[in-house]
Amino acid sequence: MNWTQIINISLILTSIALVASIILQSKGAGLGGLTGSDTGGIFTARRGIEKTLFWITIIFSLIFFALAITSAILAARA
């Protein structure tokens, strides 16, 4: 396995985890949260598991972004 394959596999796993964390966040918002028609929620206080899920989503998105940039750089060099 070379670095490109490792980065690509990590990118796939991170994207699955990111999608799962986003779905878990919108699960509590009901059907309106999935379509974007939920009117509240931006300014509400996050506590407990909601706060943890919020930070996990941010961390996964940053990891996804870094892996995507790294994958693009490695692909350009090949």
Q: Please tell me the distance from the alpha carbon of residue 39 to that of residue 32, in angstroms, as a whole number.
A: 8
Q: In the chain, where are the structural domains located?
A: 3-77
**Residue 75 token pair:** 């692909």
pTM of the entire predicted model: 0.75
User: In degrees, to the nearest 5, what angle opens at C-alpha 15 toward C-alphas 10 and 18?
Assistant: 125
Question: How far out from the chain centre does Cα 49 lie?
Answer: 16
Could you report the per-residue pLDDT of 24-76, keeping only the tens digit for each? 987 665 545 555 555 555 556 778 888 899 999 999 999 999 999 999 999 99
Confidence label for 4 from pLDDT (cuts 50, 70 and 90): very high
* Terminal alpha carbon distance of the chain: 15
